[in-house]
Amino acid sequence: MSIRQRMPHALLLQGRAGTGKVQFASTLAQSLLCDTPTANGIACGACPSCGWFLQGNHPDFRLLEPEDAADSDAEDGGEQEGAKETKSRKKHRIAVHQVRALGDFFNLSTHRQGLRIVLLHPAESLNPASANALLKMLEEPPPATLFILVTHQPQLLLPTIRSRCNKVTMPPPSRQMAEQWLAAQGIQDCSQRLAYVGGSPLAAVSSDEETEARRQTLFGLLGQGGKLDPFAASALCSKDGMAEVIASLQKWGYDLLAAKLSRQVRYHVRLAASMQALAKSVDLAKLLGFQRALGEARGYAQHPLNAELQLESLLIQYIRMFPSQSRA
């Protein structure tokens, strides 16, 4: 029995973001659709099927990703359960009409009587209506069809969807392997970049040099502790958006706490010595309060409030963590 015949009807690839799950899923799909795969099952890259796949027009492959808000607003209205979502959230959702459109795909005969594949990512971007539409398909899957769902937040999927998939946990690469790969991409200071994104190599190459420069400037400002100018820092931070800045502040606060309690840091390895020195003057209770405030702020990071005012408030709270230095 060939590997194509042994494949389940649905795979759920889950694991840390930025570790290549989507690339793996795409390679798997191409290999399963290939007319002349190699002895180890990898796509040949030269047959007509591989050519169609690489050009994005294989007749037996469909890719489902979140669509633009303007399109989903018109097509998906009335199908949402509960409160209506904002446009900013809909930009990151797979709409119900996208899933239902698979019905026409399934009604067609497969090319050369082969396998039909649907790749869906990120799976957690399914809204309630589209998730239920997909669930019906997983409960009664079409013949010769493989669903590949990719997620780094499986807990956000319907339990019934997870239960109908063969789950595969994708491990991150070793640190040495990831750093070697980053170096080959021309990334400087690979160890620090990899540590900052939690060991996910693709995340380490996702930000541009301008963003990296602003991030390093922010670290320098935060390193001033109570002497930080919150108004100048908030003006700098607002360029990257609230969600990104809050994530950066949470990582900084985590490492301050770690340096205070164990003298170890996780995200800012190159700044370990300076963070340990800074941690000596931090008020532990206020640091814990700052972390709680950041957690709350992350919940409304997409809210259309004045981001700069929110950041100013958080950074004022930050400098008050250093009572012997604070000027606010």
Fold adopted by 3-169: Rossmann fold (3.40.50)
The encoded tokens of residue 21 equal 């799950």
Listed by start position, the domains of the chain span 3-169, 207-319
* 320 pLDDT more than 50: yes
Domain 207-319, what architecture? Up-down Bundle (1.20)
- Looking at residue 74, its pLDDT comes to 38
- Looking at residue 301, its pLDDT comes to 63
Compute the Cα dihedral for 272, 274, 280, 282 and give only its sign.
negative
* 70 pLDDT more than 50: no
- Looking at residue 76, its pLDDT comes to 41
Residues β-bridged to residue 292: none
Give Cα separations from 75 to 25, 107, 118, 158, 164 (angstroms): 28, 22, 21, 23, 28
Please give the Cα distance from 78 to 75 (Å, whole number). Answer: 9
Question: Of 194, 197, 165, which is closest to residue 178 (Cα–Cα)?
Answer: 194
Please give the Cα distance from 289 to 189 (Å, whole number). Answer: 32
pTM here?
Answer: 0.73
- Quick check: 166 and 8 in contact, CB under 8 A? yes
Q: What is the pLDDT of residues 208-219, one digit of tens each?
A: 778 888 888 999
Q: What is the pLDDT of residues 94-141, one digit of tens each?
A: 999 999 999 999 988 888 778 899 999 999 999 999 999 999 999 999
- pLDDT confidence tier of residue 62, bands split at 50, 70 and 90: very high
How confident is the model over 170-196, as a mean pLDDT? 88
Question: Of 8, 48, 11, which is closest to residue 26 (Cα–Cα)?
Answer: 11
- Looking at residue 51, its pLDDT comes to 95
- Looking at residue 197, its pLDDT comes to 87
Rounded to a whole number of angstroms, the distance between the first and last alpha carbons of the chain is 72
Q: How far is CA 45 from the centre of its chain?
A: 28
How confident is the model over 258-273, as a mean pLDDT? 91
- Looking at residue 326, its pLDDT comes to 56
